[in-house]
Structure 1
């Protein structure tokens, strides 16, 4: 029988030792860079390893040393460019320090996150970076911390856990951006998020995400500071997919007392919101103003360019990796702790509210659609 389809046997430490004409123990010490071994033996072993294309058994090494040189990263939605950029910051930093990264996506599902954390622990990762799907259901993360396994949180807090967290203060930037919209004359400001809730939003309700809770707190502060009622009816959560985002956008723009400005809580939501505005034949900002979280290249290519809240996402990921590696190496946290600030970048998508000459936004949108005036198209 031909052996072409047979699996080639992996090169072992014994093979390297035989080729280098040293003992297996000497070869193991030279390859593992531990113990006493002469420079001459080390060079022979490394040369033999290269000639034989030897690759170390990482599982066996981790069992022997207690270190796998891997970091587990758990995020909610890798399709979201926000997490993609943060993960790039993590992997770039980890690679420079000799660590590999195992990435797990949870679709913002807490049960999936619990499983992901356990799988990574079973794979003997040296530490975890987690963007919690829930800031309320955090028992599994508390268990990790109690076990002494190094862990850092990214982007979101986890209840009252005292743990290093790399995130922006969202309440402050949300307050600033809402003031910007209020100063432009807007009073009906919609906020759209994928956060899942069992009931419509009401001020003061407990939210699973610290990020979304902080953003809404900032919005409410800006309204209340001006003595204005906060439009709870325009806070729309559960925007699970592109179609639901477009439906929600149509709803807030076509209701009897419609939104005059829309805030999208991330880049994926923003794309579907802009698409829905196009479909309605409305113009940005002539008919509706628009503001979104995160700054990506495409936001500068729209007509007009979009006003955004830029976050130092890559730097947050890099800082999370640095903090975790310090924990793994038994070092204290960096002092002072890194702080991250978001920036409101004002472009052309925020204007004054359009005068409503017709009885509803629906008739206004219908009129614009009839004359074919679509000004918010992507280039």
Structure 2
């Protein structure tokens, strides 16, 4: 069944519930969202299927590569566009484009790409104060091959990003944000995983919400027990997934069955369904939206990241679930209409025109 198959929405004016498990603080927030994620510079180039076959790359997939493979692919890629990326950072870029106040925590090295990343994210108005590393490895990069059918094949060298220590966290900054948003990709390496656990403690002690994005099947496969424990313990308030990821999380083949298993474990569950739109389950109440129209799909890089940006923008504004889903679909449609994982159009203007 596609996402349009069943529809139950929050009533007009009905808002999201207060976070389960603890009282949400009434202290005004300085930031709408603070995110912890990989600090990566994206390198995006066109490629054909023959290039993917030559290098044994799975179309549409994401694999981690070592420094040697990263250098090989970079040397054989065509002309490329280089822009700061990373899943959670892309989400913040979208929220900043909607006019929201955001902060980012992530690890770079004091090298050229580290300077590029820091400059780019700060230029968007996003607070970024994490000190740069002075030792190897270098700043992370993601080599993205975009085939003529708009599929993106990502090859990620995590570099310095996987060495984010808990000591690098800005506790006061986390406490000052409405929502702490965690990137599942960064759960894989040990040091940032420990840092994110510490950050969850800071956020919950301050009465703030915690959002988590599952990111990718390979991450879920390795850390399914951890992710289920976070849900069972009530540590996650908003969970972002797509249909494949929620099936991997539950080890079920049918995503509707998977949604039924996970929805009772989290106050807000968001599941994107590609061209079929998206679903939100808020305290057992289901809302859906269709995908926003796109004249031409150019590059699907960042679609999920920007969907989360739109949804979280609506959420911090207190909008109902349907409105949040529509904002997510709008932002995702904009980013897949061009190369790169950051919005190019004025999202506030698009929102005013479309909604």
Superposition TM-score, scaled by structure 2 size: 0.33
Computing the radius of gyration from Cα coordinates, the structure with the larger value is 1
Superposition TM-score, scaled by structure 1 size: 0.31
- Which structure ranks higher in relative contact order (CA pairs < 8 Å, sequence separation ≥ 6)? 2
